[in-house]
Amino acid sequence: MAHETAKVKVPLSCARLREYNTVTGTVGRSFAGREDMSLTALGIFSQRSFLLEVKEEGEEWPSEAAGGIVVRVIRVNPASLEFDPALSIKLEDVSVATLGLLKKEIEAKTGMAVESQRVVKVRTVDSPVEFLAGDDKLLSKELGIADGSVVYLESNEKEWSVVQQRFEVESNTITIDFNRPGENTTFDLSVSIDRRRTIGELKEKIGEVVGIPPGQIRLKRKVLSKEYKDNNATLQDCSLLEGSAVLVEEGVPLKVGEFVCKIFQFYAERDDDPFTLLLVDQVLCETDTADVIRGLVAEKISFPRTRLRVREKNGPRASTVLRDGKTLKASLPVVQDSIEFCVQVVGENEVCALREDDMILEIQQFHPSTMTLGPKQDIFVEKDASVLALRMLLASKHDMPLGTPSFPFPPSTFSLIFVLQFL
């Protein structure tokens, strides 16, 4: 294809394509034996330069080794620890160019003894550095040093590497966008920080910009997300990446294990709008029990806590009843910010809290004459109770003959609505 494009008036057998570096002016290997490979497999990218080499019929191709290799060497200044301008070192025969030969040429140009040199390769900013070792290894075939490659040179007197630290910082530095406290829609401020740093250190940097002490900064990923509470967690652990935005609020931050919730009062007898909001942004801890919530509501509505049943609110319905003596974390599958609870007022003779072997069922009495259901009621039964035991309980509760209550389906280990039907 290159032969046709170049319009060379020689037989195809007298033309071959070779790698060519326009910056250093060096000629690389030919593609002999690799003609069937794809351009991607050969590492050929856009704007790549090649040399189309031709010969007369009957002539032999010249040795490919004559092209040589040029390596650009950037030295760490021992005084300033900054990078000096790059030096270009040319090795005439790439087929025999080894790391040891490169080090000798470096010594001749810089005066740094071979035994004091540490040669470092960095492919891209995001890749880890590689300390080149093995003076007898070929640069091209074994160490991946191609014509025009850049390597870094520093003294090996210190155990730590200036080059490694410099590139690790650059590869891990990210920009975090954030808002001014009170302006939750515009994220026009930013800081640069190493993603290996902690949430506490991010708060310090943000505090310097907005003029708020770190101890008064609350950070969230967005308005509805949970708060970053662990000041020792790294930004990487929190999945904060380049360009991530965090919401900044002024206020005492939550501690690990604390969360913000809403607490409602639940009216089981209401079909429409059975919840009334009582407490907003209430701070609780995972180790709190249902009795803590019961106490907060009892104080709010001035009602005896012994007649308050605490449940999790799951959307439009009251779900799990929280057992006394168990922490919120142990009682629920997930405890997180924005969780909702509800408190239900029960009758004087009703059981307020569940035992470990109890389950709660919602029942509604069915009236055939009007084809309507009565108000919802809760009853407690043992998880292993039989249908007969449930019949006896309902008959006693509603003052009916034992054979009267019937059910469209049997009780299960979770809350269901049962219809109480007169036969």
pLDDT digits (tens, 9 = 90+) for 262-280: 999 999 878 788 999 999 9
d(CA 95, CA 139): 9
Residue 368: pLDDT band (50, 70, 90) is: confident
Average pLDDT of the chain is: 82
Residue 414: pLDDT band (50, 70, 90) is: very low
298-319 pLDDT, tens digit per residue, is 999 999 988 899 999 999 988 8
- 10 lies in which domain range? 2-66
Domain boundary among 201, 223, 250: 250
Residues facing residue 406 across a β-bridge: none
Residue 27: pLDDT band (50, 70, 90) is: low
Q: Are residues 130 and 189 in the same domain?
A: no
User: How many domains is the chain built from?
Assistant: 5
186-202 pLDDT, tens digit per residue, is 899 999 999 999 999 99
DSSP sequence for 342-368: EEEE--TTS--S--TTEEEEEEEEEET
Instruction: Give just the sign of the alpha carbon dihedral 155, 156, 158, 159.
Output: positive
Q: Are residues 318 and 277 in the same domain?
A: yes
248-261 pLDDT, tens digit per residue, is 999 999 999 999 99
Q: Which amino acid is at 258?
A: E
| CB neighbour class for 212 (10 Å; exposed up to 12, middle 13-18, buried from 19) | middle
The b-or-e profile of 171-196 (16+ CB within 10 A means b, else e) is: beebebebbebeeeeebeeeeebbbe
Residue predicted with more confidence, 192 or 93: 192
d(CA 361, CA 182): 45
Q: Are residues 73 and 50 in the same domain?
A: no
Domain-embedded: residue 402: yes
Residue 205, both tokens: 């940097």
DSSP sequence for 301-358: HT--GGGEEEEEEETTEEEEEPPTTSBHHHHSS---TTEEEEEEE--TTS--S--TTE
d(CA 188, CA 168): 27
Instruction: State the DSSP code for 156.
Output: S
When pLDDT is averaged across residues 122-142 and rounded to a whole number, the result is 81
Answer for the pair 345, 367: CB distance below 8 angstroms, yes or no: no
Q: Which amino acid is at 249?
A: E
Domain-embedded: residue 398: yes
350 Rama class: left (phi>0) / alpha (psi -120 to 50) / beta: beta
For residue 238, CA distances in Å to 70, 198, 200, 232 come to 44, 9, 12, 11
Q: What is the pLDDT of residue 201?
A: 96
Domain boundary among 230, 250, 270: 250
At residue 354, does pLDDT exceed 70? no
Q: Are residues 129 and 200 in the same domain?
A: no
d(CA 375, CA 364): 6
At residue 13, does pLDDT exceed 60? yes
